[in-house]
Amino acid sequence: MPIPLIALAISAFAIGTTEFVIMGLLPNVARDLAVSIPSAGLLVTGYALGVAVGAPLLAVLTSRMPRKLALQLLMAVFIVGNVLCAVAPSYGLLMVARVVTSFAHGSFFGIGAVVAASLVPSEKRASAIALMFTGLTLANVLGVPFGTFIGQEFGWRATFWIVAALGVLSALGVTALVPNRHDAGPSNLGHEVRVLKEPQVWLALAMTVLGFGGVFVVFTYIAPILEQVGGFSPRGVTFVLVLFGIGLTVGNTIGGKLADRALMPSLMGILIALALIMAVFATTSHSQTGTIVTIFIWGIAAFATVPPLQTRVVEKAKHAPNLASTLNIGAFNVGNAGGAWLGGVVLEHGHALDSLPWVAAAVAVLALAVTWYAGRLDARPSVVRRNAVDA
């Protein structure tokens, strides 16, 4: 694989770290800024909504730029946003800084995937894109636990300074290693937008929102759940987050292979497993051994949804996949935002932390219902054709 992919993977690692590390730092941020845990959880919602809004917006603004220049500008936004997070004196300004940071997220992954694919022969494009996204999964294995540890030892602001420095390294890597071509993004944006008339595209986006939204009902508040329900120390939380990240990496591989074999049946099976695991976690969260086992299995199921969900939306928008793929990244983050918000509402109404897994299980069941309905629509054309032949 070409060396420029390393620069893209490092950038994906930095972006993934800044997105997810806030979960491990919620108690620290809440104490330092004198806000409640649910209020601190809205920092996750703000970031996710920023991605959802910023991804299509920046996709339009950068569509005519050379892709290397677009990547450089997006990393500049990322660096500025993390520096603002590190110096934010209040909760409100920290929220603004998180939203600024999030604007780089969706467009970078969208453009970066196109660049990665262009660097290799056609038969290796999937592997090239997968290598870039390995940075995102490694962020959960290494970046988030390390960032959580740094934040607990030296203050949460130190974590954002380190991520900003990682952004500088990423920008230098993109500048030095990514070829300086003059190819831009899709020239016919109107053709891309027309794909949104397809009901199955909207159903695919809804599957993404709900399928990943349930994960964030719990993951947003994973640090307080582990500390207050499971009795883990702050360092124990770091260990569990490492284990969760390993599960994500395993699940990403498994989900991709299952999606290649039978996309919709695999997705429905994964969602059933996700709902069952969350229901089990409502009980095992009170046991450290049970928590460790459940968290690892949950990580596998959680990220096993990602390849089939991304494949589904591209499959249903195969004549105009660029905007649809970018919107699906936004849909993941709408799910993140909705899950974080829903979890906060549950806590604000006086329910205990160990009730959140039940809510997550319910969201997974709703995702399963939408997936089943979309599958039924897939089967209708064949039924119509079969009836026509019989007539």
154 is written with which tokens?
């030296």
191, pLDDT greater than 70: no
Reported residue count of the chain is: 391
Phi-psi region of 278 (alpha: psi -120 to 50; beta: other; left: phi over 0): alpha
Q: 190: Cβ–Cβ under 8 A, 6 or more apart, which residues?
A: none
Cα gap 230→221, rounded to integer Å: 13
**Final residue in a domain of this structure, among 159, 185, 211:** 185
Last residue of some domain: 133, 154, 185?
Answer: 185
- Enter the tokens of residue 173: 């890597």
Contact predicate 358/278, CB 8 Å: yes
pLDDT at 389: 40
Residues 142 and 287 in one domain: no
pLDDT in tens, 74-107: 999 999 999 999 999 999 999 999 999 998 888 8
Sequence-separated (6 or more) residues with CB below 8 Å from residue 158:
86, 150, 151
Instruction: Count other C-beta atoms under 10 Å from residue 349's C-beta.
Output: 9
Tell me if 177 sits within 8 A of 5, measured CB to CB.
no
Spatial separation of the C-alpha atoms in residues 350 and 352, rounded to whole Å: 7
Residue matched to tokens 């064949």: 382
Amino acid at position 218, single letter: V
pLDDT value of residue 293: 94
User: What is the per-residue pLDDT for 45?
Assistant: 82
Same domain? 96 vs 211 = no
* Averaged pLDDT, 57-72: 80
Mean pLDDT of all residues in 119-139:
73
Percent of the chain at pLDDT above 90?
39
User: Do the Cβ atoms of 362 and 238 come closer than 8 Å?
Assistant: no
H/E/C letters for each residue in the chain? CCCHHHHHHHHHHHHHHHHHHHHHHHHHHHHHHCCCHHHHHHHHHHHHHHHHHHHHHHHHHCCCCCHHHHHHHHHHHHHHHHHHHHHCCCHHHHHHHHHHHHHHHHHHHHHHHHHHHHCCCHHHHHHHHHHHHHHHHHHHHHHHHHHHHHHHHHCHHHHHHHHHHHHHHHHHHHHHHCCCCCCCCCCCHHHHHHHHHCHHHHHHHHHHHHHHHHHHHHHCCHHHHHHHHCCCCHHHHHHHHHHHHHHHHHHHHHHHHHHHHCHHHHHHHHHHHHHHHHHHHHHHCCCHHHHHHHHHHHHHHHHHCHHHHHHHHHHHCCCCHHHHHHHHHHHHHHHHHHHHHHHHHHHHCCCCHHHHHHHHHHHHHHHHHHHHHHHHHHHHHHHHHHHHHHC
pLDDT over threshold 50, residue 254: yes
Side-chain half-sphere CA neighbours of 312 within 13 A: 35
Residue 373: per-residue pLDDT: 94
Q: Are residues 171 and 259 in the same domain?
A: no
The reported pLDDT for the residue numbered 391 is 45
Domain that holds residue 271: 188-391
281 and 370 share one domain: yes
Verify that 156 and 276 share a domain, yes or no. no
Residues 194 and 124 in one domain: no
Based on the domain organization, do 197 and 173 belong to the same domain? no
- Among 96-110, 156-170, 326-340, 373-387, whose mean pLDDT is lowest? 373-387
**Claim to verify: residue 116 and residue 192 sit in the same structural domain:** no
Query: Which among 230, 345, 353, 218 is positioned nearest to 277, based on CA atoms?
Result: 218
Verify that 315 and 208 share a domain, yes or no.
yes
Torsion sign across C-alpha atoms 138, 143, 149, 151: negative
* φ/ψ (deg, to 5) at 7: -60, -40
Q: Highest mean pLDDT range out of 103-112, 185-194, 360-369?
A: 360-369
* pLDDT, mean over the chain: 84
Higher pLDDT, 319 or 162: 162
Domain count for the chain:
2
- Binned at pLDDT 50, 70 and 90, residue 336 comes out as confident
Assess whether 127 and 231 both reside in one domain.
no
- Residue 279 is predicted with a pLDDT of 94
73 and 221 together in one domain: no
Higher pLDDT, 113 or 207: 207
Instruction: Using the 3D structure, point to which of 185, 205, 239 is the last residue of a domain.
Output: 185
Per-residue tokens: 324: 């649809």
Residue 210 reports pLDDT greater than 60: yes
Instruction: Average the pLDDT over each of 67-71, 114-118, 222-226, 358-362 and give the range with the smallest value.
Output: 114-118
Q: Domain holding 193: CATH number?
A: 1.20.1250.20
Please indicate, yes or no, whether residues 230 and 93 belong to a single structural domain of this protein. no
Alpha-carbon distance 225 to 332, whole Å? 23
- Tokens standing for 68? 């290397």
